[in-house]
Structure formats: structure tokens, C-alpha cells
Amino acid sequence: MLIECKRLLRDTGFLLMSVLTPLVMYVVFNNLNVAIGQEPRQAALYTMVSMSAFGAISGVLNSSVGVAEDRAMGWLRQLRLTPLSPLRIVLARVLISMLLALPPIVSVCLAGALINDVELSLPSWLAAVGLLWVGTAPFAAAGIGIGYLLSVRTAQLASVFVYIGLSMLGGLWIPLAAFPDWLAELARFTPTFRYADLSWAVVFDRGPSMGGIGVLIGWLTLFGVFAIYAYQRGGRRA
């Protein structure tokens, strides 16, 4: 696990897409939200969470490339010869992918505190960052499934399409209040909105939505089944 993390952290493409990109977008979107009339503190809190979520999702989904590379090198075939169950293998890979969410989350939250003077109590900081990390599990499972099924190049393109599409639809770039009513209702069922909403609830001092947590658990189950299926199918093709 440690070797895999070091390999990905040395990848300049990973650092650019998962750390620098959300940092730049945080500054841009925060200024845009203030320009359209949002109160500065509210804009900073909203954008800090949304861009942390965007960077984290980007990081875990981009791990699909490493999975696809391992499959191409025959590593997946070797794993299938071990007594490890598909569930255990997928869970281990999910944890590795989730570690890649920490750099963008921490960097954007630091930017919020240092650039826009975001102030939260220590428990609120820990809760917001913790939920931003734990909530990446469904996206990590989705990325693993993509990597097990597709070639390296196709997996990279598919991951970019998924995280940008879901980020836009899930309200990470534009608040749902700006969506048409029908689109806002649809967005509330996306994993991206429900994931970010966990930390929005913390920073805006409101209770978590139990229905939203249920939706996110549903997506985790769906993507987890997809990852296990992709592992089994990908192993036969490797």
C-alpha cells in the first residue's frame, strides 16, 4: 500500500489534477460566488467544501489508471491465484485510493483558512475533513471498477468524464439554487451532492440529512458491487 501511494504521489499529473487544479478553482469560484452576491464567509465555506470534494473525487477516480496498468502487467492474474477473496482485494484497493484524497482536501481547506480567513472550531474542522475523506469511498470503488474493466487510456478518459460530469451535476461548481427545479431535484440523488452535503452540513451548522446518507450508502453499495464484478471479469480477461 505504501509503495503504491508513493508511486502515485510522484506522478506530476496526479499532483496537477488533484491538488493544483482544485486550489485554482477554489480561488476562481469563490470570487465568482462573491461577485454574484453571496456573502463572503458563506461563499468561502461553500466553495472550500465543494472544491475539496472535487479534488478528492478527482484523486480517487484517477487511481483507475494505476489499476488498469497493473492489470495490463498481469498483476491481476497473480492476485487471482492467491486465497484472497475479491471483496478483500477490492477493499484494500479502495483504502489505497482513499488515501489519495487527502492531499487535495487538506490543501483546499488550508487555502480557505489562509486566503479567506475561514474560521471553524476544531471539532468542526475535524468533522468536515473527516467526512470529506470517508465520503470518497463510493468514488474509489467506481474508479477501481473502471480500472479493472478498461485499458489504461480508456480508463483515464472515463474517469475524467465521470468526475467532471458528476461534479457539475452534483452542485460542486454551481449551487443547486441556480439549477432549474427539475435538475436540482435530480442533482440531490447524485453521489457528489450527497457527499459534499455531509460537510456543508457541518460548516453551516445544520444537521445531516439521513435521507442523503442513505442515498450515499446506496451509491457505495452499487459501486462496490460494480468493482467486485469488474475485478472478476477483468481477471478472466487479463
In angstroms, the CA 172 to CA 183 distance is 14
CA distances from 226 to 60, 90, 153, 159 (A): 16, 10, 20, 15
pLDDT interval class at 195 (50, 70, 90): very high
pLDDT class of 3 with cuts at 50, 70, 90 = low
| pLDDT over 90 at 185, yes or no | yes
State whether residue 85 is helix, strand or coil: coil
Question: b vs e for 81-96, b when ≥16 Cβ sit within 10 Å of the residue's Cβ?
Answer: eeeeebeebbbebbeb
**What's the predicted TM-score (pTM) here?**
0.90
Counting the structural domains of the chain, the total is 1
pLDDT above 70 for 27? yes
What pLDDT, on a 0 to 100 scale, did the predictor assign at position 75? Answer: 65
pLDDT tens profile 106-157: 999 999 999 999 999 999 999 999 999 999 999 999 999 999 898 888 998 9
pLDDT of residue 139: 96
- What is the mean predicted confidence (pLDDT) over 80-102? 81
The count of residues in the chain is: 238
Please check the confidence at residue 63 and state whether its pLDDT lies above 70: yes
pLDDT of residue 33: 81
Residue 11 pLDDT greater than 70, yes or no: no
Banded pLDDT at 76 (limits 50, 70, 90): low
Whole-Å CA distances, 163 to 17, 77, 214, 232: 11, 28, 21, 24
User: In which domain, by residue range, is 183 found?
Assistant: 2-237
pLDDT > 90? residue 70: no
Which stretches of 11-39 are DSSP H helices? 12-15, 21-35
